[in-house]
Amino acid sequence: MPYYLRTLAACLFLSIQLPAQSPSALTLHMNEPATPVSPGLYGLMTEEINFSYDGGLYGELIRNRTFQDSAKTAAFWSLQQAPDGRSSISLDKKDPVNPSLPVSLRLDLDKDGKTAIANEGYWGIPV
């Protein structure tokens, strides 16, 4: 579930669970400046469009870098080998790096060793 939906669901849950209270008032004095704001301070708004959070902010542009996009396959990773090669890749959960990175990519090499793994990145990886 996207982050914003989880946040909305939590807010709705909290608003439903709050006990009945007396009404409160919020008064804004828009014509009275309170604290000076630096002219060099600008606002920022980001939106989850075109992977702006997932990959767009990562300098390395590796897609599915933690191997957690799919529980069954190494999504966005591929094996590069000769047509008759017998190497394989799979997800490995037996020896995690740490609790935050519980999945690794396992590469089982064929005898020739002329095998590589590739990541498609986000619309490719400009090199």
* Rg of the Cα atoms in the chain: 24
What type of residue sits at position 3?
Y
- Model confidence over 90-122: pLDDT tens digits? 999 998 889 989 999 999 988 776 888 999 888
Q: Residue 61 has which token pair?
A: 């542009």
- Model confidence over 57-83: pLDDT tens digits? 555 678 888 899 999 999 999 999 888
CA distance 121 to 126: 9
- pTM of full prediction above 0.75: no
**Whether residue 44 has pLDDT greater than 90:** no
- Per the CB < 8 A criterion, the answer to whether 52 and 76 are in contact is no
**Of 118, 112, 91, 113, whose CA–CA distance to 102 is shortest?**
91
Could you give the count of Cα atoms lying within 13 Å of 122 in the half-sphere of its Cβ? 17
